[in-house]
Every structure is written in C-alpha cells, then in structure tokens.
Structure 1
Amino acid sequence: MSKDRIYRSPAGLAGGVLLLALALWLGIDAVVAGEGRTPWTALAALLFLVPLIAAYTVRPAVFANDDRLRVRNPFRVIVLPWGQVASFRSGYSNEVFTEAGDKYQLWSIPVSLRGRKKAARQEARRASGGGRGRGGLLGGLGGGGARTDVAGAGAVVDGPVRAETDKVMDELKELAEARKPANTSQGEVTVRWAYEVLAPVAAGVVLLAVLLGTG
C-alpha cells in the first residue's frame, strides 16, 4: 500500500493548540489553587472541553493513498475505497459523495471564500498582463509520503490561479478518477464513531451535571 498523503488545516491546528493551552492553564490553575468544589468542577470542565476542542481543531485530517480515502472528522472516521467514491463537491464546505449517495464533509479541508477571491484577483491580474499568479499546493500527487498542510509554500502555477483548498479538491478528484477502476480500490465504505472523543466528553458532562446539581 502506498503512503498516505495527509491534508490538514494549519489554521485549525494553530487555533486548537492555543485553545488547548489556554484551557489547560486555566483548568490546572483552578485545580491547584481552587477551594471547595472548584478543583472538581475544573477537572470536570477539562474532561469535557479538552477532547471537544481537540476534536474540532487538532483531530480532523484527510488521508489519501492509491487505494482509499480516509476522512477523520471530529466524531467519526470514514474509510472510502476509491471504487466507492462518486464525486466531490465544493460549495460552502468540501464534501465527498459515495456511489450509494451518502455525503461526508471534509472537515480538515475548509472552504476559504477569502482565498477564492484572492485567487480570482490574481488570475485577473495575470490575464491582464500584470504578472504570473502564485499559489501553493496543499498536499500534492508527487513525491510520496506525508503531504504538506493546507497552507503550503507558494509555487508558480501554469494553469488558472486557484485557492489552496480548491487545488486540494482537484488533486483528490484526479486521484479518485485514476484509481477508481483498480482492483485494490474496491470494497465497502466503513464508518466508525470516535468513542475515544465521545466517552470523555460524555463523562465530563455527567460529572459537571452532578457537581452543579448537588452544589
């Protein structure tokens, strides 16, 4: 099996790390310096918030290789063999559709309307002779191994200027079209709930409810 190309959102990762650091700093301070029920309430809040923040910021990723697409969203992991991928759609979010008609959002590849407007302006300048547009690939099909993040380094483009996440969707479409007929790309779509995220979040909610209800 070929190595995965990994697509993630640098903005999501950076924001998640900052939020986690803030939550841990405030929570640990409350546990150490708090009195009465405060330490227990802080622990319950951390148990609830930390996995939730991580689920929406650090966890999301899309993994693609020659056989399948694996989508790790906040609360689910979806594995789609290329033979089961019908199409991709980019609107206000990026989505993948299966042959059965099911739709799954690609959380780690967010649509950037600002990026699209910027790309459109660059393309307009280039078309009017104002210079070559520049853009960066998020991931890519060559080179093998783990791919770069959504905001990769800039590179001179020969075709129309495209927003970074739109380039990623183009890459995934090309890979799906190329690998869809392969024998190793067949199989069933599988969906697994992320109990490693859901369990501590649920425990935190229950513990908070007990502490607040008996306070």
Structure 2
Amino acid sequence: MTTPEPPSQQPSEPAHADRVFRSSLGIAGGVILLVLAALLGGDSLFRGEGRVPWITLAGLVLVVPLIVAFTIRPAVFANDERLRIRNPFRTIVLPWGSVADLRAGYSSEVFTQDGDKYQLWAIPVSLRQRKRAARNAARASQDDPHGRSSVTADVTDTKARVAPTDQTVADLRELAERLGGRPEAQGAPQIRWAYEILAPAAAGLVLLVVLSVTG
C-alpha cells in the first residue's frame, strides 16, 4: 500500500471523489461474450487438431481485447476539476473549462471550446427509454393541464419523465457550467490511446494473417 506524501509534496487532489457513469447492460453483455469466447475457444485449444489451436489462439488474442474495449472498458469519470472519458480505444481528459457543451441526440457527445467532439460510449442513448419518458411526461401533463406539481409528486415521479441518459447528460452539463470557471478546472484536453487494448488486438490480427498466408 502506498504511503501518502507530505502535504508539501503531495499533488493536489479533487475535493470530491469521481462520479462514475457506466453502462450496466454493456458490462453484462461483455461478461457473457467473454464467457462464450472462453468456452468455445478453450474447447478448440485443447481438442483441436493441426492448425486449429493456433488459429483459435490468434482469434482469442484479437477478439477478447475488442470485447473488453466495447463493453467493459467504457466509463465516464467526473469530479470538481475535469471530465475523464474512457472510450474503447482512447481516454480523453477534459478540464471543465475546456468543455463547451454536452448533448444527447442519437449518441451522447461532449463538445470542447476548440470545436472538437467526443462520444461518451459509457452513456448510450436508448430511444425506448426516451419514448417511455415522453409518455410519462404526456400522462403527467394530462393529469395536470396547468403543469402544477401535485402534493404527492416526488423526485422519482419527476425523473420518470426524463430518460436516464438525458438526465445524466443534463447533470454533466450542469457540472460543466458550474465548475468551468474555477482555476483548478482550466487546461487543455489530453488524449491517450489505449495501447493495452490495441497492442494485443494487433498481435492477434498479425498472427491470423500469418497463419492464413502460410496455410
């Protein structure tokens, strides 16, 4: 366990821990795919003959990182200083001062002051949930045509009228507007490629190509 540095040497940390946004359905789907790959691939590795085990190994080295990249890896982390977006092949760090807007259309996106756009893979848009929220809002407006809140209405009823993705993007937009002017939230965007995903996937692809050429 790492020992904390003295206050004079320790780098400044966010005042609050990260709020993490991930897709539970994406993670569940990724786990299922990984289990299937392990079962099918393991059978071919241990029971296959000739070049089959090698082809299976190359396929697993290629496919497993891609499954992880598109299902388990995506996440969005937000604190008082910055928005960190972990997409399949890149990690983008955006200080709040560099964020111009966040929108949820057919996909969730963040726009920077420089005009760049990045998708939020961890916050997928569900048209079904959006339609359900629209029906709830329409039903509520029929119950009270003047738009007044009833005494028994609570926060849960209000949130039911907004799709979860739209609510999440609205919360992140509110953070950007509220924290974007802080000195600690200034700086340029930073982008890092996910070599831990790209390297093994590329190795598996190269191995597949070699096996197909030499076959």
TM range (shorter): 0.7 to 0.9
Tell me, in whole angstroms, the C-alpha distance in 2 between the residues paired with 1:87 and 1:12. 25
1:6 correspondence with 2:20: yes
Q: CA deviation at 1:24?
A: 1.2
1:70 correspondence with 2:84: yes
Partner of 1:168: 168
Give secondary structure in 2 for the equivalent of 1:188: coil
Runs of 4 or more off by more than 6 Å in structure 1? none
Gaps of 5+ in 1: 133-154
Larger Rg: 2
8 Å contact from structure 2 (residues 136, 160) kept in 1: no
The correspondence of residues 106-145 of structure 1 with structure 2, limited to 5 A, is 106-129=120-143
Give secondary structure in 1 for the equivalent of 2:143: coil
Partner of 1:18: 32
- Give the TM-score normalised by the residue count of structure 2: 0.86
Tell me, in whole angstroms, the C-alpha distance in 1 between the residues paired with 2:107 and 2:159. 24
Partner of 1:81: 95
Q: CA deviation at 1:159?
A: 6.5
- Give the TM-score normalised by the residue count of structure 1: 0.86
1:201 correspondence with 2:201: yes
Which amino acid counterpart does residue 25 of structure 2 have in structure 1? Answer: A
Tell me, in whole angstroms, the C-alpha distance in 2 between the residues paired with 1:102 and 1:125. 39
Partner of 2:185: 185
Cα deviation digits, residues 77-128 of structure 1 (max 9, x gap): 0000000000112211110000000000000101111111000111111121
Give secondary structure in 1 for the equivalent of 2:20: strand
| 2:119 counterpart (105, 109, 126) | 105
Tell me, in whole angstroms, the C-alpha distance in 2 between the residues paired with 1:57 and 1:160. 26
Partner of 2:62: 48
Q: Give the count of matched residue pairs.
A: 193
Tell me, in whole angstroms, the C-alpha distance in 1 between the residues paired with 2:133 and 2:120. 21
8 Å contact from structure 2 (residues 69, 89) kept in 1: yes
Q: CA deviation at 1:158?
A: 3.6
Q: 1:159 to 1:115 in 2, by over 3 A?
A: closer
Which amino acid counterpart does residue 203 of structure 1 have in structure 2? Answer: A
Q: CA deviation at 1:11?
A: 1.0
| 1:94 counterpart (108, 120, 144) | 108
Q: CA deviation at 1:161?
A: 1.1
How big is the alpha-carbon RMSD for the aligned residues of Structure 1 and Structure 2?
1.6
Query: Please, which moves more after superposition, 73-82 or 24-33?
Result: 24-33
Q: 1:160 to 1:204 in 2, by over 3 A?
A: closer
Which amino acid counterpart does residue 188 of structure 2 have in structure 1? Answer: E
Gaps of 5+ in 2: 1-13
Give secondary structure in 1 for the equivalent of 2:114: coil
Partner of 1:214: 214
